[in-house]
Structure 1
Amino acid sequence: MAIAAALVIVPLGVLFFLSGLVVNLFQAICFVLVRPLSKNKYRRINRVVAELLWLELVWLIDWWAGVQIKLFTDSETFRLMGTEHALVIANHRSDIDWLVGWVLAQRSGCLGSTLAVMKKSSKFLPVIGWSMWFSEYLFLERSWAKDESTLKSGLQRLRDFPQAFWLALFVEGTRFTQAKLLAAQEYAASTGLPVPRNVLIPRTKGFVSAVSHMRSFVPAIYDVTVAIPKSSLPPTMLRLFKGQPSVVHVHLKRHLMKELPETDDAVAQWCKDVFVAKDKLLDKHIAENTFGVQEQNTGRPLKSLVVVMSWVCLLIFGALKFFQWTSLLSSWKGIAFSAIGLAIVTVLMQILIQFSQSERSTPAKVAPARPKNGGDQ
């Protein structure tokens, strides 16, 4: 991490990790004391508490880096966003797709009840991974033999979720890179599938399971397509922390769950067809630099700014009182202790940034080639 970048990132890291530990503590207390008595009351409380942390990352996009997220969808879908349960499937284009989803969820009023299916290692990330675990995110090992029962039980727990939630599922199984695209193209050519140009081939087992278990209580699937305009650099966590702006285009199409086919094979094929259409839509975006449908005004709410300013004031006041009470900075030992604390924050921020990078993401295992019209990959 360059020194100039560290001078910006470390103070933000101190803010994020200190406030995050406070949030995690409240989540843990509620998990132990409230959840055994009322799961739904715990969920309602956790929604508010988790937002106090997650809004800091929304602030990072909205007010620090000034990233513009432009939403393209019809007015009826825009009206329904945040008022209903939804299964969200999206291409995994950038390092911060999950954060783009958080921004749209915050605009729709359901940030605290936003969920995702993520790799198991994510829950061990300090602060943010812990907050996701308390918020009932689903963590998988990318081994269907182990993940099938985990996914099934996690989805069944959502049946009585008290607020409208979004469950994000990245069916490509990994983030998009050119190397992974080449592997997907080789696989498609060898099996007679449509050869993708802008997406990876969806791995449909998890999607089929999700539809099977959620069909009765989730009314809609949100088909999300993320694209970066030619004139904009792709956003990354490092660029966000540096305050570098970017533009992200998001196309959202709503499908009624009841209109999906009944059989597992047909549902799997539906998912594949959606990604073929998504690939063509991205071709159109590359050619025209827009999705060509109505852009909705999502605004830039003040809520995240208010939350961050409140955390700053609270933590500065707490730090001053702490240093005054302990006289920590009046001795070499105290100064050394403080320096070690800053070094730990620096390392944790580096881990968070590297963890988000698509080049470092682990690709899902590629199934062996099968004859054309064979079973699911």
Structure 2
Amino acid sequence: MSWSALKSLGISQLALAVTFIATGIVVNFFQAVIYLTIRPWDATLFRKINYYLTYVFNAHIVFLVEWWSGTKAVMYADKDEVTKFFGKEHAVLVANHGCEVDWLMGWTIGERVGILGNARSYIKRILQYAPVLGWSWKFQEFVMLDRNWEQDKKNIGPQLRILASYPDPIWLTLFAEGTRFTEEKYLASVKVAKEKGLQPLLHHLLPRTRGFVASVPHLKGKVAAIYDVVVAVDKNSQHEPSVFSMLKGREVKTVLLFRRIPLEQVPDDEKEAGAWLHKLFQEKDKVLDNYVKYGEFIPAKDKNREEYASYKNFTTFEIPRRPYTLLNSCFWLAAVLIPLVYYLCQIVMSGDVGRISVVAGLIGAAHFGFSKLIGLAKVSTGSKYGSVELDGQSGLNKHKTR
């Protein structure tokens, strides 16, 4: 049996699921301990320790990308800027939300520049109650949002100031479209754009600006830059861009455009800041349209055009993967599976039906829970675009994963 065939077997995915859940529970326990005992007295020490606990957990997921599926993290960016700034400064990633693994590919880049343990995002507050993942997000101090703008307006500032005060660099991801791209949501977005006199986009939903505008004042002077991120799926990719594809060991081909923009370029005026975000999405839309048509974000024949001046020094490259996610997963696979297999052999040989049933139930529950957690990343779990007021200045952006 080939290695590829082995990775696609249900037993292999079950082993990953059990290990992931077991590791998550251990990490949750220690995160809870330091959250309750160290954080009230020394927040800096708490965040230093929590970086490594978070890394242990997040590295399992990035392992699926880098080593299990063999997916490459290809970038289109200014290589000198990446070397100089990435992983060395606080940054807000304003990314498109077009496929199921966009956040995961961002995490993979983050791992390669040493930021994975401090990868943060905006999420719906209700998700903090999701076992394992949600609990970890709570302890990681993700920005928690409600569906009530008045409440969010009060809460967002203190949460952002906490992240901006971190002793080590963070990446805070904002999906300004508020939900993943689907045809139904796109049609609703076009309708809203026309009603508001805004230019409809071709490959993105109209960004919701209020969350962005509300965030900027709390980040200026503390966060150095916005990273404009555009994730494109290679048209030659043979597999669906999904977590389940990667779980089955199937390579997903994507390219990520990263453009660094100093945060100080965002206007202080709320209306102007909203217009700035709309312009950013028009630029995203243009380069993604190029990729769809020509297989390049900036066609070679157009690279010297004035509208592409900010992409002048961009090249396509891949930051080499590091061995840490592989070592982390190998350690936990051994630590969890060796005792588990030994115990299973013991109870099977004992013939105790009750104990066999209990263990089988626990393993089944772990697999079910793992599937549910991955399900948080599916397109169908996104919010309904157009179900709330979408005037370009409405509802904070809520992302269901990370």
TM-score band (shorter)?
over 0.9
Asked if the contact 1:78–1:296 (Cα under 8 Å) also holds between the matched residues in 2, the reply is no
Q: How far has the Cα of 1:192 moved from its partner?
A: 1.7
Q: Which residue of 2 aligns with 1:27?
A: 31
Asked if the contact 1:190–1:369 (Cα under 8 Å) also holds between the matched residues in 2, the reply is no
How far apart in 2 are the matches of 1:92 and 1:305?
A: 28
**1:241 pairs with 2:247:** yes
Unaligned 5+ runs, structure 1: none
Q: Which residue of 2 aligns with 1:289?
A: 295
**1:135 pairs with 2:143:** no
How far apart in 1 are the matches of 2:292 and 2:358?
A: 52
**1:299 pairs with 2:320:** yes
How far apart in 2 are the matches of 1:353 and 1:158?
A: 26
**1:90 pairs with 2:104:** no
SS of the residue 2:376 aligns to: helix
**1:209 pairs with 2:230:** no
Cα 1:294–1:195 shift into 2, 3 Å: same
Unaligned 5+ runs, structure 2: 1-7, 299-313, 395-402
Asked if the contact 1:220–1:256 (Cα under 8 Å) also holds between the matched residues in 2, the reply is yes
Q: Which residue of 1 aligns with 2:397?
A: none
Q: Which residue of 2 aligns with 1:40?
A: 44
Aligned counterpart for 1:102 among listed residues 102, 107, 112: 107
How far apart in 2 are the matches of 1:334 and 1:352?
A: 27
How far apart in 2 are the matches of 1:301 and 1:376?
A: 41
How far apart in 2 are the matches of 1:297 and 1:213?
A: 33
Aligned counterpart for 1:312 among listed residues 313, 323, 333: 333
Q: Which residue of 2 aligns with 1:72?
A: 76
SS of the residue 1:294 aligns to: strand
**1:11 pairs with 2:15:** yes
TM-score, normalised to structure 2, is 0.87
Q: Which residue of 2 aligns with 1:163?
A: 168
Asked if the contact 2:72–2:318 (Cα under 8 Å) also holds between the matched residues in 1, the reply is no
TM-score, normalised to structure 1, is 0.92
Asked if the contact 1:261–1:267 (Cα under 8 Å) also holds between the matched residues in 2, the reply is yes
Q: How far has the Cα of 1:366 moved from its partner?
A: 4.9
Q: Which residue of 2 aligns with 1:345?
A: 366
How far apart in 2 are the matches of 1:91 and 1:120?
A: 22
Letter in 2 for 1:9: Q
Q: How far has the Cα of 1:125 moved from its partner?
A: 2.5
What is the number of equivalent residue pairs in this alignment? Answer: 369
How far apart in 2 are the matches of 1:297 and 1:200?
A: 28
Deviations 1:290-347 (A, max 9, x none): 22440132112211111111112222344367669x9586211110001111221122
Cα 1:276–1:34 shift into 2, 3 Å: same
**1:144 pairs with 2:149:** yes
How far apart in 2 are the matches of 1:339 and 1:288?
A: 51
Asked if the contact 1:94–1:234 (Cα under 8 Å) also holds between the matched residues in 2, the reply is no
Q: How far has the Cα of 1:142 moved from its partner?
A: 3.3
How far apart in 2 are the matches of 1:279 and 1:291?
A: 10
Deviations 1:52-78 (A, max 9, x none): 111011110011111122111102321
Q: How far has the Cα of 1:354 moved from its partner?
A: 2.5
**1:196 pairs with 2:217:** no
Q: Which residue of 1 aligns with 2:262?
A: 256
How far apart in 1 are the matches of 2:331 and 2:67?
A: 15
Letter in 1 for 2:94: I
Q: How far has the Cα of 1:7 moved from its partner?
A: 3.0
Identity of aligned residues (%): 30
How far apart in 2 are the matches of 1:109 and 1:183?
A: 39
Q: How far has the Cα of 1:158 moved from its partner?
A: 2.1
How far apart in 2 are the matches of 1:277 and 1:268?
A: 15
How far apart in 1 are the matches of 2:348 and 2:38?
A: 36
Asked if the contact 1:228–1:234 (Cα under 8 Å) also holds between the matched residues in 2, the reply is no
Aligned counterpart for 1:120 among listed residues 106, 122, 125: 125
